[in-house]
Amino acid sequence: MRPEADDFRTRTADSLTKDGLKQRCQTNAWLGHTKRAHAAAQMPEWQQLCAWARDVKRHTVEHLADYLEEFTRNAERVGTQVHYASTAAEAVQQVAEIAKQHREGPITKGKSMVSEELHLNGHLEAAGLLPLETDLGEYIVQLAGDRPSHIITPVMHMDRQQIGRLFADKLGLDYTDDPQALTAVARERLREAFLAAAVGVTGANFLIADTGSIVLAENEGNIRLCTTLPRVHIALAGLEKLLPRLADLGGFLRLLPRCGTAQKMTGYVSLLTGPRRAGEVEGPEEVHVILLDNGRSALLADPHKRQILTCIRCGACLNACPVYRTVGGHAYDSVYPGPIGKLLGPHSIGTDHGTDLPFGSSLCGACTEVCPVKIDIAHLLLYLRQEAVKSGHGDFLWNAGFSAWSTATQYAPLYRAGAALAKLGRAALDRTGGLEALPGPLAGWSRTRAFPPFAKRSFDQWWKDTQGGQEVE
């Protein structure tokens, strides 16, 4: 990690001091990672399926304007009202305007990372509306006044004792940490809201261009209640959620649950095409889809970053990442944590927040290996690092030092002169017992790791001794 990344370093240091957080993240994320690997291993055609999904998503992104137009045309044909929002503020305004026309009861919400991106709950509450998360994990997060720490399992950072104390404090219950009892309490509270809500808000796992359909995958059944009981359904989706054809959906429904929760299929899959029709007994009278840009067009315009938009939000890269497994999601201070958050965080989406995040990576490549649409996350992190340095982010001495190192390594005389000076320094350090801390802008390297002892001879000298006196050029 680069030493000027004080914000991220401070947050990671804080995360490491929280009792039990590291162990919870390590246990839960590693379990998800190993179960995903087992689920993938059961499919001999796994790599071919991933390559196919990559090709479909990249084709879609390359022709995004065409598929947006096709989706809008087909969705409106079946009665869905399609809205475009350039910014988060515009999307919030659109949701609020629709919801204010139906103020009866709470707004029931299905799990949606786009709504987190909009900070929707706070804005709706400020407008006098009552949003209520109905995914169990998101319900707990909302009760705590907290934020999700994982794309798929939002309450990974809490244990059942903490949740039990939260329920006792917020809901006036006797303390229990029994998961079944806590779930039963949440179910009872949420059931009342489902029956009273006039508006339901969800995300969208996929949008189908050739049918105008919304696809939602879940395990708790709450999303189905959010989309069938209220009179109005609002679906929030990033522009990148499109698939060209309904025929493409099957392959992605094989990938997403295996990578997200190691299931062959989620408990519920809803394919929603327009509002309730004459003679149907359930479903909303109005369906609205809000298509959000919020910085996505900027990613689309950059050939290097465009592949970020192919992400299907499965969370596999978070579980694979040794950094995420150590510090958890809140250390990123980004709606999207983990490796994918390091790519989206610097845009956030739509701002330049989080330019230090790409430096918080070991570049081990585990995220790239598990990505079901083969996003080259590791190389994109390097690209964002280069961008950050070129745009002036970072410590002057740090950048100057690496510039000097780059120059020295390109010219053998300079390199040898530096090696000679280093040899003198090594001799002095050998007498004093070694180096415990590096000076100045290099201090970040030794603050959190033991600096290794110097080798007795340089690689250049070793090469000469073992390769017949040939010099390294």
Retrieve residue 248's tokens.
């493409």
Q: Last residue of a domain, which of 294, 327, 352?
A: 294
Q: Are residues 53 and 182 in the same domain?
A: yes
Q: Is residue 258 part of a domain?
A: yes
Largest Cα–Cα distance of the chain, in whole Å? 90
> How many angstroms separate the CA atoms of 462 and 470, rounded?
10
**Domain shared by 109 and 220, yes or no:** yes
Given 294, 318, 342, the domain boundary residue is 294
* Assigned domain for 407 exists: yes
| Cβ neighbours of 23 (radius 10 Å) | 10
Q: Would you call 145 helix, strand, or coil by DSSP?
A: coil
Q: Which residues in 438-467 are b (16+ Cβ under 10 Å) and which e?
A: eeebeebeeeeeeeeebeeebeeeeeeeee
21-41 vs 6-17: helix crossing angle, rounded to 10 = 100
Number of Cβ within a 10 Å radius of residue 400: 11
Would residue 181 count as lying in a domain?
A: yes
- The answer as to whether 131 is a domain residue is yes
d(CA 217, CA 20): 31
User: Which structural domain, as residue segments, surrounds residue 405?
Assistant: 397-466
Beta carbons within 8 Å of 438's beta carbon, 6+ residues apart: 445, 446, 451
Task: Tell me: do 136 and 250 sit in the same domain.
Answer: yes
Residues 275 and 284: beta-carbon distance below 8 Å: yes
Q: What is the pLDDT of residue 349?
A: 59
462 Cα distance to chain centroid:
45
The answer to whether position 96 is within a domain reads yes
419 Cα distance to chain centroid: 43
Q: What is the pLDDT of residue 435?
A: 64
Q: Given strand 107-109, what is the order of strands in its sheet?
A: 81-85, 286-292, 232-238, 199-202, 107-109, 131-133
Tokens of 364: 């081990």
pLDDT confidence of residue 441: 64
What is the total count of domains within the chain? 2
Contact 460, 419 (CB under 8 A): yes
Tell whether 286 and 402 lie within a shared domain. no
Residue 235 in any domain: the answer is yes
The residues near 66 (Cβ < 8 Å, ≥ 6 apart) are: none
Three-state DSSP state, 313? coil
Q: How far apart are CA 358 and CA 199, in angstroms?
A: 39
Q: List strand residue ranges (DSSP E) for 41-152, in order.
A: 81-85, 107-109, 131-133
Domain finish residue from 294, 315, 340: 294
Identify whether the C-beta of residue 24 lies closer than 8 Å to the C-beta of residue 156: yes
Q: What predicted TM-score, i.e. pTM, was given to this entire model?
A: 0.89
Q: Does one domain contain both 414 and 281?
A: no
Q: Chunked in runs of 10, what are the mean pLDDT values of the chain (473 residues)? A: 57 89 94 97 98 99 98 99 97 98 93 96 96 98 96 96 97 96 96 96 99 98 97 98 98 98 97 95 96 95 96 98 95 93 78 78 95 98 90 72 81 80 67 64 70 72 75 54
In a domain? residue 251? yes
Burial of 84 (0-12, 13-18, 19+ CB in 10 A): middle
- For position 49, which CATH number holds? 3.40.50.10420
Whether residues 51 and 173 share a domain: the answer is: yes
Q: Please state, in angstroms and rounded to a whole number, the distance separating the CA atoms of residues 259 and 312.
A: 10
DSSP annotation of 131: E
**pLDDT of amino acid 395:** 67
Non-local (6+) Cβ contacts of 217 within 8 A are 205, 253, 256, 257, 266, 268, 269, 270
Residue with tokens 């989620």: 266
425 part of a folded domain: yes
Classify the phi-psi angles of 279: left when phi > 0, otherwise alpha if psi is within -120 to 50, otherwise beta. left
**284 and 422 assigned to the same domain:** no
- As a whole number of Å, the CA-based R_g of the chain is 26
Q: Identify whether residues 231 and 106 lie together within a single domain.
A: yes
Residues 220 and 82 in one domain: yes
pLDDT score for 2: 40
> For residues 382 and 367, what is the distance between their CA atoms, to the nearest angstrom?
14
pLDDT recorded at residue 4: 40
3-state percent breakdown (helix, strand, coil) of the chain, nearest 5: 55, 10, 35
Let me know whether 99 and 235 are in one domain: yes
